[in-house]
Amino acid sequence: MAKLNMVQAINLALHEEMEKDPTVLVMGEDVGVDGGVFRVTEGLFSKFGSERVIDTPLAESGIVGTAIGMAVSGLKPVAEIQFEGFSYMTIDQLAAHASRIRYRSRGTYHCPLVVRAPYGGGVKALEHHSEAVATFYIHIPGLKVVIPSTPYDAKGLLISSIRDPDPVMFFEPKKLYRAFKEEVPEGEYIVPLGVGKKITEGEDLTLIAWGAMVRVCQEALEQVKDLSVELIDLRTLSPLDDRIIIDSVKKTGRAVIVHEEPRTLGFGAEIIARINEKALLSLEAPIKRVTGFDVPVPLPRLEDYYLPDASKVADAIREVVAF
């Protein structure tokens, strides 16, 4: 079995789904001849041609709007937005149309659309290239939001997303694109949407993260080896697998949530609300968040101060356990 990084795993998923299903196509800025800014779509243009691997103008709203038309006409477009910071122009198309076509037509029509976008910081890029604002999209009913943290999950989740009958926002943590490799099977397998994954078992505290922050949490666990921590990777933020969270918190009585998005109205706040609704009497300490700050992601020199790191997460774990 080949060991692949996340870019290679996503590329493999696209190759295999396009081979399997002639209605799957890829579109976006530079996704064709150049293979995408991160080379995620490399090799697709030469294999499938310009009618299924479509270079578009620099017009994010137009890319997603066109993809919506294709989707309701029977195709399965996978639209790439080069960076999440450029995705704001797509919100009108996703919120006003893609996400509500099933509802609007009383189930007569649906919109099998995937919008891919690199997500988050960690590579010290320019303004608009390091943003993490999945919460905007989580707030849109009818739109699923997925963020993998490993190459294996990235391939399986993307295949599930392409086959989903409704629109999916698929965020790819760019810090993890080439950070490590793991065994990724060739051929068909899926990771179901809406199902979280328990990475470690624990008794003292529940640690919740997604995307690049899962790796940060794994590094933090090396600093708290004297504690028993249950690490959960959510993988899909909408729909949320809150059962895995609630069951864990009822067992440990304590929780820390880690995300690189700004703190205010970040998804950590929603997770805390659900724990309070369903597991309040199990809590033995206040829940703590380790997050980005309520400012634009700083330019390269200050990025490390903005992002959660292993030391911040380890400190939060010890503070909650010692409460």
Q: Which active-site residues does the annotation give?
A: 129
Which stretches does DSSP call E strand in 161-228?
168-173, 182-183, 197-198, 205-209
13 in Cβ contact with 6 (< 8 Å): no
3-state helix, strand, coil split of the chain in percent (to 5) is 40, 15, 40
Take residue 200 and report the two structure tokens written for it: 């470690």
Other CB atoms within a 10 A radius of the CB of residue 303 amount to 16
Helices (H), the chain: 6-20, 44-48, 60-72, 91-96, 101-104, 134-138, 151-163, 212-221, 242-252, 267-279, 303-306, 310-321
Tally the residues of the chain: 323
129 in Cβ contact with 85 (< 8 Å): yes
Query: Max Cα separation, the chain?
Result: 60
Take residue 132 and report the two structure tokens written for it: 């993490």
Which amino acid would we find at residue 289?
Answer: R
147 in Cβ contact with 196 (< 8 Å): no
Which amino acid would we find at residue 213?
Answer: M
CA distance 160 to 197: 16
Collapsing DSSP states into helix, strand and coil, what is residue 28? strand
